[in-house]
Amino acid sequence: MAKHNFRTFILWTLALLMLPSTMWAENGSDLWLRYKGSNTAQVILSKGLKSSPTLRIAMNELNSNWTGNETITLQRTAHGGDKPESFTLTRTAQGITLASPSDAGMLYASYTLLRLQQTGQLSRLTPNNPISESPQNDVRILNHWDNPNGTVERGYAGASLWKWDAIPVKAKSGKQAKWNDTALQARIEQYARANASVGINATVLNNVNAKPLMLSADMIGKAASIADILRPYGMRVYLAVNFGSPHGLGGLDTADPLNPEVIKWWKNKVDSIYQLIPDFGGFLVKANSEGEPGPMDYGRTHVDGANMLADALAPHKGIVMWRAFVYAPGSKDRANQAYEEFMPLDGKFRDNVTIQIKNGPIDFQPREAVSPLLFSMKHTRMMPEFQITQEYTGHSIHTCYLAPMWKEFFHTLQIPAASDMANDKNDMRLIAGVANIGDDINWCGNDLAQANWYAFGRLAWNEQLTSEEIAREFLMQTFTADPQFVDPMTALLMHSRETVVSYMMPLGLHHIFAGGHHYGPEPWYAPRGSREDWLPRYYHRADSLGIGFDRTSKGSRNTQQYPEPLRSLYDNINTCPENLILWFHHASWDYLMQDGLTLWQNLCYKYETGAREAEQFVEVWQQMKPYVDSERYESMLWRFQRQARDAWWWHDACILYFQQFSQRPIPADITAPRFQLDQLMKFHIPIDNYRAPKPEQLP
């Protein structure tokens, strides 16, 4: 059998000192903000620096949580060309100075100093070694897919964080509203605190599949009340808008972006928003995609729609984030469509329009090639969109640390020559992540899924951080700094994404999930009347000759959308990275891969490896029991056990299904499938219970 990629770090666990089981309870609500300060710090403002709500938060965090004896001084510096949020930490014999051009920068500096303390890295800060940081992205934004009715699309951590019925409406006078639900108010403030601690500075409150209702006067007033809580933490509020709102909400008979009445309606609506939210960030728009209304309904273009909204926002310095997630039935290749639709529009968008582009050209798959559009538009501002919520990587049940995926994305972007990547709209950088946050007490449903929220913030601030650095930071702050916990769990997190890819869709396979919930495997899913590009067979294309989607110059020509050297690399099956081979090539079942085994054999071994590694995760976690409180231990034990069971379901279902086409024997050292294919095709895995029933209660 081929060697497992995952080196059995289980050996770590066999050497661990077994201590009495931990018995305290911990619900996970504190996230990584588990400071143990002495409450004796002396924090002062430099001469001439006036207090503000943001500075008071910074001072309170340091006063409450710093354990040292030094005096900490917050100091304003001149902008001098630096980004306003940049900061410098300096240590002298007299104490530590946190200097920044802005209040928000001093708040970020405060959290950075506390992070160094919590992770044992204060030795980095010496009189001869100040620490300076500046965010690589100006807008670091969470996209909430929350609906006005309290549901969350692709949410796996309970209902919406925003209890809209309980949020007060801010008056037109601008006076802050009185909150009757103080627990909700405190929860939203804790959300802001967690984001500020990792550098996230913006949020879209509602679903990209937006309802016109979100622009009603009451909902804007409620959004303003949320904005008042987030503002002191350096966060700005944005709204996703339904392009048809002038018709659906405003009473007009059209939403044509060139219609004067429509233009006037949007201008008035924008003005009313800024009356209540003076630092409102702008709009996120999903238009002419998956049935959402857009300018093309009226014979217009994305440029017409985006620029009309941009003109309404421009006097207030607001921006439009216009999503490039578009596809239409009947296209030759769904992966081609964003490029084909947006490249002819390059250079025609207003300066305050940003095209928001998913990291891959399909839809947040466990592994995708980077979207070619991100390499190509030279005269239009672009921003990548990641999915923190695990729609395609096991929801809040499976542990899948996503930082390695995002680092893979950043690395691929750097492969073409810098001159080929030049963009003349580089005055502002933005990055978005679809949030995995709900009203569950531990925020994310899965205590280890908090690592993905944390990692997004850290990488949005500094793309050069390594996945391992971030994982260690998270574990030390969220659980314990004991190396006998941190070392094996870092190894587990670091390999978890590759494990998920192995037991779900190895070698570049993609989108073979069950329809609707996108959790279990259903490569056979094909209900009558469905769109072809919503069906797994559209993507895996398995037949008697081979498997995979031919996107080469002889197929859909998707490879030709990439710059060199990626274009040639992907186009040739012999140079294409093997982890993407079935993404770009329809390969023969007998194609010999680098290890000398056939593609069919490799496919089988990948499924086997992934399932066995998922079982090892259970063993590793069981050895962590002495270091974890009982509540989080039991919750995660169930999830690891469920993940292992489901990994074997993927293993059996995919191997048996694809064997129909390959007509090759399953390698002798592969675990024999436990069920027949017809049994698996009739079984639908339960996905509606995230509250940890006992494993023996599962079907």
- Please list the active-site residues: 290, 363, 391
Which residue, 215, 210, 218, 389, is CA-closest to 284? Answer: 210
Structure tokens that stand for 368 in this block: 């995708």
Hey, CA dihedral for 325, 329, 335, 340, is it positive or negative?
negative
**Strand, helix or coil at 689?**
coil
Contact, 642 vs 687, CB < 8 A?
A: no
Burial 254-292 (b: 16+ CB within 10 A, else e): ebbbebeebbebbbebbeebeebbeebbbbbbbbbbeeb
Structure tokens that stand for 63 in this block: 């006063």
CA distance to 44, 107, 235, per residue, from 133 (Å): 21, 13, 19
Q: What are phi and psi of 457, to 5 degrees?
A: -60, -45
Measure the CA–CA gap between 240 and 285, rounded to whole angstroms: 6
Contact, 334 vs 362, CB < 8 A?
A: yes
Cis peptide before 565 (omega within 30 of 0): yes
Structure tokens that stand for 527 in this block: 């209900």
CB atoms within 10 A of CB 18: 9
Q: Which run of H or of E encompasses 642?
A: helix 630-662
Class of residue 15 by CB neighbours under 10 A (exposed 0-12, middle 13-18, buried 19+): exposed
Structure tokens that stand for 69 in this block: 């004896």
Contact, 535 vs 514, CB < 8 A?
A: no
Q: Which run of H or of E encompasses 251?
A: none
Structure tokens that stand for 202 in this block: 């913006």
Alpha helix stretches (DSSP H) within 174-259: 182-198, 217-230, 245-248
Please report how many Cα atoms fall inside a 13 Å half-sphere around the Cα of residue 97, on the Cβ side. Answer: 15
Distance in Å from the first CA to the final CA of the chain? 31
Class of residue 669 by CB neighbours under 10 A (exposed 0-12, middle 13-18, buried 19+): exposed
State the pairing for strand pair 236-241/282-285.
parallel
CA distance to 196, 200, 389, 431, per residue, from 460 (Å): 12, 8, 16, 7
Strand order in the sheet with 87-92: 42-45, 71-76, 95-100, 87-92, 131-133
Measure the CA–CA gap between 167 and 162, rounded to whole angstroms: 8
